[in-house]
Structure 1
Amino acid sequence: MSDAYACVAKGKLKLKSDTDLKKKKKKKNKSKDKEMEREAAKSYVEAASTSGTSTVGFERKLTKAELASKKQQEKMRNKRIMDKAQTTHKERVEKFNEHLDNLTEHFDIPKVSWTK
């Protein structure tokens, strides 16, 4: 029976006070941080200009399947854009109104009036 209670913490519960919650934060040296950021940005720009690409380091090559899916996505996106561009705003409004007319009365806005 003593084995079952071996992992139980004994004693009263400790409640957190305001002093426990507020810990002193270590102050950072802002000048060193800014200097490091400038150096990192400078090295990034230099690497991008020398390599001819905008990424630094390893550039992942796409597989045939990934290239095919990207081409298909681009093709479908262009098709959707062309379909939307061919219909005028007036035609889209008319189509939307027809759609609303076909809906049942359940979706109609109820009439709110003080007299009736």
Structure 2
Amino acid sequence: MKKLIFLPLLLLVLATSLSCESKDPALLKVFVRSSSNQLVSGAKVIVIGDQQSNPATLEFVDTSYTNSSGFTVIDMNEYFDVSGKDNTTGYFDIIVKYNNKIATGYSRCRIHTTSVETIYLPN
């Protein structure tokens, strides 16, 4: 008798746990380092959607500055909320400006995932 009660309860718990969607945010974390490998605070980080990628990324531009620890976190949920359910990956160009120095990078971001990139400034 206990098995007859326990089995449906177990199936109900299993079904609800498998149907839950991941609610982790999509983030892009960009570290900026000098040519001597020191973390740089106050660097301007520009993230641009790469429309030439395959598959093409939708229009997206966001600007942020690195904090005192030398990194910035960009919320990519803004992009994925607009791009639709079928678009789970985006490709982005990263431009870093600090004083008179400019460096570039590239990143692939996925929904519900944190992507991490490190950009090195030239001498």
- Shorter-normalised TM range: under 0.3
Q: Name the larger-Rg structure.
A: 1
Identify the structure with the greater helix proportion: 1
TM-score, normalising length: structure 2: 0.18
TM-score, normalising length: structure 1: 0.19
Identify the structure with the greater strand proportion: 2
